[in-house]
Amino acid sequence: MSDWNKRTKLVHGGTRRSQYNEVSEAIYLTQGFVYDSAEQAEARFIETGPDEFIYARYGNPTVAMFEERIAALEGAEDAFATASGMAAVSGALTSMLQAGDHVVSAKALFGSCLYILENILSRYGVEVTFVDGTDLAAWKAAMRPNTKAVFFESMSNPTLEVINVAAVAQIAHEVGAIVVVDNVFSTPVFSEAIAQGADVVIYSATKHIDGQGRALGGVILGTKDFIRGTVEPYMKHTGGSMSPFNAWVMLKGLETIDLRVRAQAESALAIAQALEGHAALQRTIYPGLASHAQSALVQKQLGGKGGTVLSIDLKGGQSAAFKFLNALEIAVISNNLGDAKSIATHPATTTHQRLPDDQKKDLGITPGLVRFSVGLEDTQDLIDDITRALATAES
Ligand SMILES: *Cc1c(COP(=O)(O)O)cnc(C)c1O
């Protein structure tokens, strides 16, 4: 399998067949596994072989198929599947950190990631320094001898800043810190994060991996040592494992992710190009546009691919943004992303509502900002829907 290209790995990677030789992967919807003898049960608790299982919280064949397939795609040695993206973020961090450790994190984060870093870790004696993720001098200045980890979203939500994985990794590795990247917006299709220096990569599988808005899931990718030595003991005892049914949904999602994400990204670029300079808009933010602040980095880090999400800032502020959202006929108002259905979100009043106004302002979450996750609908239909809704918002 190791010499297969990504698209082949996505279809066949990790497949395990039962005695029935089914074509489509089976869902092993079972909590436990029967041992042939008391001796076998004892042996399995001493050492569990690669295709041996004890209890679904520890591992399951369907979950193992998903873990192997996504690890093959990402180029990681191993993976641990989790109940949600947040179980992956909290599991990766809390399994490795202890009181007295220091973490440096980018400040532009998904709301729940920010909650973990700002509110939870400090309760357990872990100190966190927040930096502007695009400012390499700030990363460098924040490092300390006890900096155990750095954390950032390689492409931030909702303002789509792109952080230089290779450069931050180099700075972090100088003090021996582990580089943890939440890679959701970059997507597993365009990511080369491990090759670029990330030690641990995290996805919310709820987004592009499912891709059809059905199930929650997440995954932590890294070295075999880190996944089986640090993450697994923590996750299997604290209960954040992925369910077999959700693993099956995600496994089947991987078979089509390359086609879906490439089509969605192509559409996102066409929409961003059509909207750029529109009279109702203050800004059109899309990492694939030449006008994006880190466009050179997007070329280098993501092969020029800007992902499936764009953000627009309406000149008329919140009231224009609300009129725009309410006038959309194709895109739905919701807060997921990476779905086959286009989804529009008003971050200031929903996903980032909790943040104080000055923090919103600092992060660029203005009252007019709308995040638009581009789905699999016809591109021209989406452009027409958006431009019609913008006209309504202006009137
Ligand atoms: C959605 C998301 C998460 C959380 O994932 P869930 O599956 O909702 O728990 C974490 N980070 C980023 C960047 C996300 O977009």
- 378, two tokens: 């016809």
pLDDT by residue (tens digit) across 250-288?
Answer: 999 999 999 999 999 999 999 999 999 999 999 999 999
Ligand 1 centre distance from Cα of residue 313 (Å) = 23
Structural domain for 106, as ranges: 6-253
Q: What is the pLDDT of residue 394?
A: 86
Q: What is the pLDDT of residue 53?
A: 96
Tell me which residue has its CA closest to atom 10 in ligand 1: 85
Contact residues of ligand 1, CB 6 A cut-off: 84-86, 89, 110, 112-113, 153, 157, 182, 184, 204, 206-207, 216, 218
**Domain stops at, among 253, 270, 299:** 253
Our count of domains for the chain comes to: 2
Check: CB of residue 80 under 8 Å from CB of residue 231.
yes
Nearest to 202 by CA among 302, 64, 79: 79
Q: Return the CATH number at 216.
A: 3.40.640.10
32 plus 94 within the same structural domain: yes
Does residue 317 belong to any structural domain of this protein?
A: yes
Residue 207 CA: nearest ligand 1 atom is 1
Ligand 1 centre distance from Cα of residue 204 (Å) = 5
Check: CB of residue 54 under 8 Å from CB of residue 239.
no
Instruction: Output the CA–CA distances (angstroms, integers) from residue 87 to 123, 206, 325, in the order listed.
Output: 18, 12, 31
CA of residue 18 relative to chain centroid, distance: 31
Q: Return the CATH number at 361.
A: 3.90.1150.10
Check: CB of residue 163 under 8 Å from CB of residue 106.
yes
**Domain stops at, among 253, 274, 307:** 253
Q: What is the pLDDT of residue 1?
A: 72
Q: What is the pLDDT of residue 29?
A: 97
57 plus 176 within the same structural domain: yes
Instruction: Output the CA–CA distances (angstroms, integers) from residue 181 to 88, 89, 159, 376, in the order listed.
Output: 11, 9, 17, 27
Does residue 1 belong to any structural domain of this protein?
A: no
314 plus 194 within the same structural domain: no
Q: Say what the pTM is.
A: 0.97
Which residues does the chain have with pLDDT short of 50? none
Does residue 122 belong to any structural domain of this protein?
A: yes
Cα-Cα-Cα-Cα torsion 269, 214, 385, 333, nearest 10 degrees, comes to: -110
Q: What is the pLDDT of residue 58?
A: 93
Q: What is the pLDDT of residue 111?
A: 87
Compute φ and ψ for 138, nearest 5 degrees.
-65, -40
Ligand 1 centre distance from Cα of residue 257 (Å) = 17
Ligand 1 centre distance from Cα of residue 341 (Å) = 17
